[in-house]
Amino acid sequence: MLKRIWIIFLRDLKVNLKDFLSLYIIIVPIIIAILINIFTPSINDTTINLALLKCENQEMIDYLEQFAHIELFDTVEEVKKRVEKRDNIIGILPEAKKHYIMTQGNEPEVIVEYAKLLKTFYELDIKMDDTNAEIIEFGRKVPPLKKTLVNLSILFISILGGMLITLNIIEEKMDNTISAINLTPTTRLTFLIGKSILGIFFSVFGSIALIFITGFREINILKLLLVILISSILSILLGIVQGLTNDDVMNAAGSVKLLFLPLIGGVLAIEMLGDKWQKFFYWDPFYWAYKGNDLVLSGTGTWSELLIYAGIIFILSVIVYVFIAKSIRKGLE
Amino acid sequence: MISVKNLYHSYNNDKNYQVKNVSFEVNEGEIFGFLGPSGAGKSTTQNILTGLLRIQKGEAIVAGYNVRDMSKEMFNKIGMSFEQSNVYSKLTAKENLDFYRKLFDVPTRDSIELLKLVGLEGKENIKAGNFSKGMKHRLTFARSMINNPKLWFLDEPTTGLDPSIAANIKSIIKEKNREGVTVFLTTHNMFIADELCDRVAFIVDGEIKLIDSPKNLKLQYGDKLVEVEYVKEGEIITEKLSTVLEKDKKSLQNIISRYEIRTMHTKEATLEEIFIKVTGRGLI
Ligand SMILES: Nc1ncnc2c1ncn2[C@@H]1O[C@H](COP(=O)(O)OP(=O)(O)O)[C@@H](O)[C@H]1O
Ligand SMILES: [Mg+2]
């Protein structure tokens, strides 16, 4: 059985690497990742860039380095030149016993505020050990928008994985080759698993590539895998059904599009709606997948929390399966 | 090798059967032909025997397996060439066969060797999607013998092929049969049935009308067929009539007594003529 699953997977891979549409789908995660990086400040950039004088006292440099990138310059003139360059770097320069902030004027307000706060914290001698709520709030390294986008993209990638499965099944249907496979010792289950592997690999590797490119390198990959694999079940099932019930790619793509509704709905519910609305989205597997991913991405999810979410997603997928099992069986005949 | 009893099949699951009360046996080592016009129910029967269609009513044992609960292992022993060729358009001829080979648990034949056998040498690296209809058909045919089947189902194996290629396919079938392969062959071409089959079943509208060897059929009907040419109202008419069937005997008497006979001789019947005599239907 494993041998046949592998053979079917390799065939799909070979065909997909030569096919324009599937090749395009395969590189989508990379494109998304790059777009996210362009439009949101990356994790490493959230700690802002500061320009200081070399002769500044070492204690201050060490302190600020915990929270920001520091560039050192010999003279005030050089700092000024550096600040005037296009990127967002802020100068902190000594004046009498205190420091003043040098900006170019077009830096985002948050960054300027952040620099001001850092300067003030230093002057007030607030240490990491004294961590109070304020510092934690600021120490949140990942901008929420970026986390939301990455999370959404992971779910989107799993749907694309399902779509890849759909494409490969439609290929078999158009060529009428399922009947030929049925006349080998390959069972229907083996065939379906073989057809699903590519979609699963794509979801997993696509998501991991996305995570790495967007800089979420410190999260627990095993936890992420748990959520990705469990939420892929649904995409795989729907991918298979779409493949078996549609005869052409465009129709199938149209039906897959319907999946974006619960996806976006779940995400908006979590991000925008108040507590009393949440229960209306409990039926939505994407709702739970988004929650699970969020815990993983912010590095705050415990295994038991994630397992509960995974369990809920699994049960919801089983319910979906019960509804579509008949179409799958029929489609294979 | 195959035993079928009272097989019925209806695509709409109603009383309007496309296969009606079909029973027959195929012995080990023979070529058994299913001969009938298109739409007679030949492919339907074959698809039930290979498990592609779920059996509805009746019994069928194929290669020792009951079709009702067949084991997937059975497919190591059987091969089937489809009426409509079905190969991966996006894979080359060789890739198609190489992929299919690996799905079996038994020793399989070399892809290149098979392609040569069906006259596709030099075409192994061309995508099947760029093949002509006949080439695809040959690829499908080649694929059906990749696992050295003991029982070989062939659905219209030569339909739509050039005569020379059809001759090649026929000789491959004969050769395999000589090696001991049992063949279940479906066709609406009576030359093929005549030339290849040890026994044929005549099937019309889902019903088997007769099963016998072509030789017996000719003995039975052959010399008892009269071709008569006569003049009726100034027109020359030719008719073939049986000297056994009551209806034909009557009309022969009628012709002789009423019209001017030009020529009249007995004739060796072709399988097609016998088919028409027996079933009242042509093979088209
Ligand atoms: N998938 C199908 N659904 C409904 N009717 C079908 C289907 N396939 C074949 N038929 C009908 O069943 C009858 C027998 O078809 P078939 O077995 O293909 O005939 P043959 O192979 O002898 O040409 C025909 O009347 C055909 O129209
Ligand atoms: Mg047919």
**Interatomic CA distance for residues A204 and A198, integer angstroms:** 10
- The C-alpha of B17 sits at a distance from chain A's nearest C-alpha, in angstroms, of 19
Measure Cα distances from A204 to A197, A214, B197 in Å.
Answer: 11, 15, 56
Q: What does the DSSP assignment read for B88-103?
A: -TTSBHHHHHHHHHTT
Q: Tell me the pLDDT tens digit for each residue of B43-58.
A: 999 999 999 999 999 9
B83 C-alpha to center of ligand 1: Å?
A: 12
**Is B278 contained in some domain?**
no
- Which ranges of chain A have pLDDT less than 70? 41-47, 127-143
pLDDT of A140: 45
Ligand 1, atom 9, residue with closest C-alpha: B44
Residues B181 and B263 in one domain: no
Could B88 and A7 be called an inter-chain contact, meaning their C-beta atoms sit closer than 8 Å? no
Residues B25 and B122 in one domain: yes
Residues B69 and B176 in one domain: yes
Q: Which of A112, A80, A110 minimizes the C-alpha distance to A93?
A: A80
Instruction: Give A70's DSSP letter.
Output: E
Ligand 1, atom 16, residue with closest C-alpha: B41
pLDDT of A186: 94
Residues B115 and B230 in one domain: no
Count of residues making up chain B: 284
**Is B279 contained in some domain?**
no
**Interatomic CA distance for residues B97 and B180, integer angstroms:** 23
Rounded to the nearest angstrom, the gap between the alpha carbon of residue A68 and the centroid of all alpha carbons in its chain is 25
Residues B201 and B240 in one domain: no
SS3 B146: coil
Could A184 and B52 be called an inter-chain contact, meaning their C-beta atoms sit closer than 8 Å? no
Q: Which domain holds residue B252?
A: 223-267
Residues B35 and B57 in one domain: yes
| Helix segments in A183-220, DSSP class H | 188-213
Bridge partners of residue B210, in order along the sequence = B202
pLDDT of B223: 63
Domain tally for chain B?
2
Q: Tell me the pLDDT tens digit for each residue of B19-35.
A: 999 999 999 999 999 99
Choose the weakest-confidence range: A124-133, B61-70, B136-145: A124-133
**Is B208 contained in some domain?**
yes
- Phi, psi (deg, nearest 5) at residue A74: -75, -45
Residues B203 and B237 in one domain: no
Q: Cα–Cα–Cα angle for B166, B171, B176, nearest 5°?
A: 125
Q: Which residue has the tokens 């999810």?
A: A301
Residues B154 and B18 in one domain: yes
Residues B130 and B201 in one domain: yes
Residues B172 and B252 in one domain: no
From A4, which residue of chain B is nearest by alpha-carbon distance?
B103
Residues 161-190, chain B, touching A (beta carbon < 8 A): none
Measure Cα distances from B40 to A200, B21, B44, B187, B279 in Å.
Answer: 45, 13, 9, 10, 12
Token reading at A114: 């952040």
**Interatomic CA distance for residues A279 and A84, integer angstroms:** 51
Region B132-147: mean pLDDT is 94
Choose the weakest-confidence range: A170-179, A269-278, B168-177, B261-270: B261-270
For the domain that residue B128 is a member of, what is the CATH number?
3.40.50.300
Q: Determine whether A105 is exposed, middle or buried from the number of CB atoms within 10 Å of its CB (0-12, 13-18, 19+).
A: exposed
**Is B107 contained in some domain?**
yes
Chain A interface includes B141 (CB < 8 A)? no
Q: Which residues contact A182 (CB under 8 A, 6 or more apart)?
A: A188, A332, B51, B52
Mutation target among A4, A175, A189 for the B interface, most CBs of B within 10 A: A175
State which amino acid sits at residue A122: Y
pLDDT of A128: 57
pLDDT of A314: 94
Residues B81 and B176 in one domain: yes
**Interatomic CA distance for residues A294 and A150, integer angstroms:** 9
Could B72 and A187 be called an inter-chain contact, meaning their C-beta atoms sit closer than 8 Å? yes
Q: Which of A203, A214, A88, A204 minimizes the C-alpha distance to A148?
A: A214
- Give A289 or B277, the one with higher predicted confidence: A289
Bridge partners of residue A70, in order along the sequence = A50
Mutation target among A174, A184, A187, A333 for the B interface, most CBs of B within 10 A: A184
Could B103 and A174 be called an inter-chain contact, meaning their C-beta atoms sit closer than 8 Å? no
Could A175 and B88 be called an inter-chain contact, meaning their C-beta atoms sit closer than 8 Å? yes
Neighbouring residues of the ion ligand 2, judged by CB less than 5 Å: B 42-43, 83
Residues 61-100, chain B, touching A (beta carbon < 8 A): 72-73, 75-76, 78-80, 82, 84, 86-91, 95, 99-100
Q: Which of B50, B107, B100 minimizes the C-alpha distance to B78?
A: B50
Radius of gyration, CA atoms only, chain A: 25
Bridge partners of residue A98, in order along the sequence = A95
pTM (predicted TM-score): 0.77
**Is B280 contained in some domain?**
no
Strand order in the sheet with B182-187: B78-81, B151-155, B182-187, B31-35, B199-204, B207-212
pLDDT of A129: 57
pLDDT of A134: 40
Could B100 and A18 be called an inter-chain contact, meaning their C-beta atoms sit closer than 8 Å? no
**Is B22 contained in some domain?**
yes
Spell out which residues of chain A touch residue B70, defining contact as CB-CB under 8 Å.
Answer: none
Q: Which of A293, A112, A321, A276 minimizes the C-alpha distance to A220?
A: A293
B150 pLDDT more than 60: yes
Residues B97 and B214 in one domain: yes
Verify whether ligand 1 is closer than 6 Å to residue B42 (CB atom): yes
**Is B178 contained in some domain?**
yes
User: A139-144, long-range: CB within 8 Å, 24+ apart, which pairs?
Assistant: A139/A67, A141/A43, A141/A46, A141/A47, A142/A43, A142/A46, A142/A216, A142/A297, A142/A298, A143/A40, A143/A41, A143/A46
Give the atom of ligand 1 at the shortest distance from the alpha carbon of B203.
22
**Is B112 contained in some domain?**
yes
